Structure 1
Amino acid sequence: MDRDTAGSLNAAIDIGTNTVLLLVGKLEDVQLNPVHEEQRVPRLGKGVDADKNINPEATQRVIEALLEYKARLAADYPTVEKVTVTATSAVRDAANREEFMAEVKKQTGFDIRLLSGREEAEWTAAGALSMLEITSETETLILDIGGGSTEIAQLFEGDIKDAHSFDMGSVRYTERFLKDNPPTEAQIIDCQAEIARLFGSRPFEAAETIQAVGVAGTLTTLAALAQGITEYQPEKLNGFALSLEKVQQVIEWFKEEPYEELIPLNPRMLEKRADIFLAGMLILEGFMQHFKLQHIKVSTGGIRHGALLKSE
């Protein structure tokens, strides 16, 4: 997505367990205006759940993505004043995280800010709401399903009331539970049981009228499938009300077929996500069931948007 780039620009890069995301944007009257977005899928967190280390091949894939982004910024957005680079669950969990961050610094020049689970939830919440027009008077839950962790932030009147990071994510739970393709019924039941247990292990005092907003690839891909959108179109994804019924319908598709056979449903959105998509949907289903939600609003905002909001 490209827009007029006149004025002061900042950039944010979010190194996640599955993706590395770039956002160039500017603040105008406290409003965040995205100028350019890109995505790479180097899957940094592959194997981290079991091995507790980031492997050299994954490190190099991330570095290649960062170097591509650095070249993009130099060529197309030379007026960018600040680049904030964040890392989350996969790096937090890795025993060799210091070595990973040092290698990134050596090859790219980027210093990584390693976010805590609480910071990840708070930055995501700020970024998610920046892309939506919703009333701040209503209590809101922000859900971020990542590759290695899932964050919930609870907001009231625009302020963080509570937040927590759960050690479950679409990559982590695919590797841990959904080992067959398609997974067996027993694998799915075990995954659902652990999701329900984790959500129940950390209570939130949620109002009955609470609204929910979801971010990241599971939500945006589901919203695209629900609307028949074949390209990434934030203007159609932001604010879309995704129903529990639709989530469960798509879960049924992915339970019954090898994930490769479902990529043609939406190649653009599913090509690099199809193998971990079911785990993400099961986490979303568990969240909606736990909080008794029939709908959740989708936002294309996230950590990188929160980083730009906090960069001023």
Structure 2
Amino acid sequence: MAGIDCGTNSVRLLIADLGRDAGAGPEHGRAGAPGADPPLTDVVRRMEIVRLGEGVDRTRRLAPEAIDRTRRALTGYAAEIAAHGAERVRMCATSASRDADNAAEFVAMVQATLGVTPEVVTGDEEARLTFAGAVGGLAATAAAPYLVVDIGGGSTEFVVGTGTVDRAVSVDIGCVRMTERHLRADPPTPAQIDAARRDITDAVDRALTAVGLAGRSVSAGPTDGTPTLVGLAGSVTTVAGIALGLDAYRPERLHHATVSYQQVAAVTTDLLAMPVAERLRIPVMHPGRADVIAAGAMVLQIIMERAGVPAVVASEHDILDGICLSLR
């Protein structure tokens, strides 16, 4: 089977074999038990930065060049899918294509290139697929409840649950959107950083209220009911890689690595002070992420502050795995 996740910043492919013990699928809000082996076996996992949502926050339209970048990536993915004989294919498109007035152009391109119709999923469905992909395979020591956050390019998903999803919400504070809206200087000015912090904090507080985790403070330390924070997507794993001092982007080291709030805060401060050219010299940095990583790091830091969690568990498994699980 093959799953494709097309977000605001990147388009990703997972071709996987599905084990027989996968259990109930993410459309029912269920995920694999923590401590259990993941029910998916990776065959191919790829990611391309296409910046589909470039300018959408301002124009409400997908730019022709952004659609073409995505088409080229999908052409390569279609060849991979055919070469491996994947029997089932599901593509989910998230924030950028939800927001665009010309989403029909994007859908037609995908149908012509990939042979399937992309599902422009709702924020709620996006969050539930994310939870299903992220929680399965967590260490047994990762205590429930879980707060899963997926920091994308256009939006961030918050999901709270145990083995099932209890509450979920999506808010428009992705790393691309916040960079385009606020952090336009290189490096950002103090005034731009303050404006971004206010915007992100307001959205995070609304999201935490919606999922029942408002009114916490990281300075107070963990208390009974403090959730295990599981952070997904490139902003989180890149921040984790920087905090761990990795000499290259190493998924096997990053998957389920734990990073403290203090480490995240220090990395965020450093990134905000760096011009893009300096960020590009960081060993774990993907070139297509360097201009937006500071905003993503800010989102992560503020989530940790406002949710009162002392550490984040980084995960390489996310909505992409949830999409494949839904094809069982």
TM-score, structure 2 as length reference = 0.87
From 179, 189, 195, the counterpart of 2:184: 179
Aligned equivalent of 2:78, options 61, 70, 81: 70
Of residues 172, 197, 204, the one that matches 1:192 is: 197
CA distance in 2, matches of 1:226, 1:34: 27
* Greater relative contact order (Cα < 8 A, sep 6+): 2
Q: Which runs of no fewer than 5 residues in structure 1 stay unpaired?
A: 1-9
Which one of the candidate residues 43, 62, 65 is aligned to 1:35? 43
- Is this contact kept in 2: 1:199–1:290, CA < 8 A? yes
Equivalent residue runs for 1:5-24 within 5 Å: 10-24=1-15
What is the Cα deviation at residue 180 of structure 1? 0.3
The letter of the residue matching 1:265 is I
Tell whether the 8 Å contact from 1:254 to 1:278 is kept in structure 2 after alignment. Answer: yes
Percent of paired sites with the same residue: 37
Q: Residue 308 of structure 2 corresponds to which residue in structure 1?
A: 292
Select the residue among 212, 228, 232 that pairs with 1:205: 212
User: How far 1:251 sits from its partner (Å)?
Assistant: 1.5
Separation in 1 of the partners of 2:107 and 2:201? Answer: 34
Distance in 2, matches of 1:113 and 1:136, equals: 32
**8 Å contact kept, 1:230–1:269:** no
Structure 1 residues 111 and 134, CA, compared in 2 at 3 Å: closer, same or farther? Answer: farther
Counterparts of residues 1-312 of structure 1 (less than 5 Å):
10-28=1-19, 29-30=21-22, 31-75=39-83, 77-78=84-85, 80-134=86-140, 138-156=144-162, 158-202=163-207, 203=209, 204-206=211-213, 208-266=225-283, 269-312=285-328
Q: 4+ residue runs of structure 1 moved beyond 6 angstroms?
A: none
Partner amino acid for 1:190?
Answer: A
Whole-Å Cα distance in 2 between the matches of residues 218 and 114 of structure 1?
A: 23
In structure 2, C-alpha distance between the alignment counterparts of 1:261 and 1:235, rounded to whole Å: 26
Aligned to 1:270, the other structure's residue is in SS state coil
- Secondary structure (helix, strand or coil) at the match of 1:148 reads coil
TM-score, normalised by the number of residues in structure 1:
0.92
- Go from structure 1 to structure 2 and tell me whether the alpha carbon gap of 1:227 and 1:137 turns closer, same or farther (over 3 Å shift): closer
Question: What is aligned with 2:33?
Answer: none
Partner of 1:3: none
Give deviations 1:224-243, integer Å, cap 9, x for gaps.
22223344433211111111
Question: Does the Cα contact within 8 Å between 1:130 and 1:305 map onto a contact in 2?
Answer: no
Query: Does the Cα contact within 8 Å between 1:12 and 1:23 map onto a contact in 2?
Result: yes
Structure 1 residues 174 and 265: alpha-carbon distance in aligned structure 2, compared to 1, 3 A threshold: same
* Greater CA drift, 137-146 or 87-96: 137-146
Distance 1:259 1:46 in 2: 17
8 Å CA contact retained: 2:145, 2:225: no
Shift of 1:131: 4.4
Q: Write the letter of the residue equivalent to 2:80.
A: R
The answer to whether the 8 A contact 2:261-2:310 is kept is yes
Hey, what's the Cα distance between the residues in 2 that align with 1:120 and 1:68? 24
Q: What letter is aligned with 2:11?
A: V
For 1:195 and 1:226, locate their aligned partners in 2 and report how far apart those are by CA, in whole Å: 22
Distance 1:86 1:121 in 2: 12
CA contact (8 A) 1:131 1:299 kept: no
Length, aligned pairs only: 299
Where does structure 2 lack aligned partners over 5 or more consecutive residues? Answer: 23-38, 214-223
Is the 2:226–2:308 contact (alpha carbons within 8 Å) kept by the matching residues of 1? no
CA distance in 1, matches of 2:3, 2:246: 26
Paired with 2:48 and 2:136, the residues of 1 have a C-alpha distance of: 23
Separation in 1 of the partners of 2:71 and 2:247?
Answer: 29
Q: Secondary structure at the match of 1:122?
A: helix
Q: Aligned in 2, Cα 1:15/1:58: closer, same or farther, shift over 3 Å?
A: same
- Given that residues 12 and 84 in structure 1 are in contact (C-alpha distance below 8 angstroms), is that contact kept between their aligned partners in structure 2? yes
Rounded Cα–Cα distance in structure 2 between residues aligned with 1:274 and 1:82: 34
The whole-number CA distance in structure 2 between the counterparts of 1:174 and 1:188 is 10
CA distance in 1, matches of 2:271, 2:237: 17
